[in-house]
Structure 1
Amino acid sequence: MAVADSVPGVSGGTIAFLLGFYDKFISSVDDLLTGTMAEKKAALPFLLKLAVGWAAAFLICAVILANLFDTYVYEISSLFIGLTVCAVPIVVMEEKEVLKKHYLHSIFAVIGVAAVPLLMYFNPVTRESSVDLTQISPQLGLFLFIAAVLSISVMVLPGISGSTMLLIMGLYVPLISAVSAVVHLQFQYVPMLIVFGLGMITGLVFIAKLLRHCLEKYRSQTIYLSIGLLIGSLYAIVLGATTLDVPRPAMSFETFSILFFLLGAAILAGLQFMKKRAEKKSA
């Protein structure tokens, strides 16, 4: 989940969905935040295991990606595309019984596809105004807080990743670089990262309860929207190179790497294999 959340493409929620524990994840988060004491105690061990693995993997990924993303942006983006493209049919197959009974709800998939280019079009960060997270200001703090609420909201939704949202808003590279810098004991980035963290906590409180309600009452609409967001995120990934500090051309057929695309597909195939094995053992 942490690897997925740290890179633009599929979300950690998608990984949880593909591995079969997404509903438990959402209900456990909601129980921990707003449930009874008994529900909190039941949810805590499960979420603690996830949190420890997620935090460790995310820090490792942040350090690695901060060094590699600029240099190998097209290869990494090709890998993200492989993950995303192959995730769509898996989500459809997992929820086919729900989806096939509500074809009219496919309009939510159209909304999801359209949302990503619209967000990129209204991106408040321009190439000429790069984000410096060492500069403390109310305007930057508010922007980071809102970006965090949005990114955590899509991060737990099975679909577009929070990193893709940050990529759209021009914050992906600055934030990944800031986390890597703090790991290397450069603490000037800490205040703005704290603001971002508070935004993530705020967003998680609201989105967990909302998603739990939507999955229980409006599951087909939610899954169609997730599929649309997954497809739409391909647009953001293709344009990912244009968001670098020194912008590079958007991905083309010449810069697309089929090898890394297949690697992304292989990763998802491996996850599905792990899920099948776990299901057989528990049967």
Structure 2
Amino acid sequence: MTATMNARPKTTPLSVLINLIIGGLIGLAEMVPGVSGGTVALVTGIYERAIHNGRGLLHLVRGLFSRRSDAQGAAPQVEWGFLAAVGAGMVGTVLALSKVMHSFVENSPETSRALFLGMVAVSLIVPIKMIDKRDLATRWLPAAALFVGAAVLIFFLTGFTAAEKPHPSLVVVFLAAAVAVCALVLPGVSGSFVLLAMGLYQPIMGAVADRNLTVMAVFIAGALTGIALFIRTLDYLVNQHHTLTMATMAGLMLGSLRALWPWRGDGTTLAAPSGNVGWLVGMIVLGGIIAGAIMILERFSDSHDG
């Protein structure tokens, strides 16, 4: 069940704890190239709720700079406890585990990719289940076209990476953050991979690990700008074209599996399974089990709240 602004779930200690954990998982996902925080939000059932609240928050901010009555009307529509819990989980995880995750991805690339491949592959079930079957019966052709098109597009885009830029300017950091945050809110599109494709993953992760406040502040400003420009469009698509949007998101997730294939040749070239096949297959299975457990947790939370 997906919460909406009109059917607001109860706030309980358990729901706060679960939202903290979900926020932490989203933050964890966004530190790994090829893994999407939007996918985690979709799998855990908070995706549409987060988009609705994000749009409500933007209405509030705009109201503060225009008409105060607009801000007063928008404030009650925002689930402050929900946003605070998810946000705290995200920020806390990034600050606490940036060095650990950076080391894991860099020192154990095959293992990390295998683990996340299993998680994302199993998570494909979620957007597919969210498609309205009756609506799909009348719109199957555009839905299929968007699914295949999105999968093919992301499959090829994840084959490109740029040379690393060790000392990017603050303007570049700002613009990169604005683009990467759009990827964050799209399931199947990894914000970290966008940074990697721009050659900025290592410098940004290094700035977070070293607590470079200037770079972090500019990155946050760019991210807020990007989300302000993008979230309204996404909210419209989710509400007015739900079936086609979910089909597109499923395609994005499917295509993104290329970035997580454990066996590689030169650069991003895919290779046949070899070497520690048993270990890596085990990691894929473990990733799938973790994703399944997250989906069960979301169902338990829904039944407890409802």
**What residue number does 1:131 align with?**
165
Q: 1:76 to 1:26 in 2, by over 3 A?
A: same
C-alpha contact (below 8 Å) 1:136/1:191 kept by paired residues: no
Q: Which residue of 2 aligns with 1:4?
A: 29
Is contact 1:78-1:261 (8 Å) kept? Answer: yes
Tell me the residue number matched to 2:100: 64
The equivalent residue for 2:226 is: 203
For residues 204 and 263 of structure 2, the distance between their equivalents in structure 1, rounded to whole angstroms, comes to 15
Q: How far does residue 175 in structure 1 lie from its aligned partner after superposition?
A: 2.2
Determine whether 1:24 maps to 2:59: no
- Alignment partner of 1:115 out of 153, 156, 172: 153
Query: Given the alignment, which residue of 76, 83, 86 partners 1:47?
Result: 83
Unaligned 5+ runs, structure 1: none
Aligned counterpart in structure 2 of residue 260 of structure 1, from 283, 294, 301? 283
Contact 2:113 2:262 in 1 (8 A): no
Q: Which residue of 2 aligns with 1:85?
A: 121
Structure 1 length-normalised TM: 0.82
Indicate which of 21, 38, 46 corresponds to 1:13. 38
Instruction: Give the alignment's Cα RMSD to 1 decimal.
Output: 2.7
Equivalent residue for 1:165, pick from 194, 200, 218: 194
| Aligned-partner Cα distance in 2 for 1:120–1:143 | 21
CA contact (8 A) 2:147 2:251 kept: yes
Report if the CA contact (8 A) 1:9-1:230 is conserved. no
Is 2:268 the counterpart of 1:237?
A: no
Give the conservation status (yes or no) of the 8 Å contact 1:116–1:236. no
Whole-Å separation in 1 of the counterparts to 2:131 and 2:218? 37
Task: Between the two structures, name the one with larger relative contact order (CA 8 Å, sep ≥ 6).
Answer: 1
Which amino acid in 2 is paired with 1:195? V
| Structure 2 gap segments, 5+ residues each | 1-25, 61-69
Partner of 2:144: 106
Deviations 1:124-146 (A, max 9, x none): x23xxx221xx353xxx444333
Alignment of 1:137-148 (within 5 A): 137=169, 141-148=170-177
Q: What is aligned with 2:58?
A: 33
Read off the aligned partner of 1:76 and give its amino acid letter.
Answer: S
C-alpha distance 261-21 of structure 1, shift in aligned 2 (>3 A)? same
Quote the offset at 1:85 in angstroms.
0.9
| Residues 20 and 120 of structure 1, relative CA distance in 2, 3 Å threshold | closer
Contact residue 263 and residue 272 of structure 2 kept, 8 A = no
Read off the aligned partner of 1:208 and give its amino acid letter.
Answer: I
Q: CA deviation at 1:232?
A: 1.4
Identity of aligned residues (%): 24
Aligned length: 265
The match for 2:13 is: none
**CA-to-aligned-CA distance 1:157-208 (integer Å, 9 cap, x gap):** 23322123223333333322331122xxxx3xx4333332222111110121
Tell me, in whole angstroms, the C-alpha distance in 2 between the residues paired with 1:111 and 1:248: 21
- How far residue 229 of structure 1 moved from its aligned partner, in angstroms, is 1.2
Return the letter of the residue paired with 2:41. A
Does structure 1 conserve the Cα–Cα contact (< 8 Å) formed by 2:264 and 2:271?
Answer: yes
Aligned-partner SS, 1:157: coil
Aligned partners of 1:19 and 1:231: how far apart in 2? 18
Cα pair 1:2 1:58 within 8 Å, conserved: yes
In structure 2, the CA distance between the partners of 1:241 and 1:143, relative to structure 1 (3 Å rule), is farther
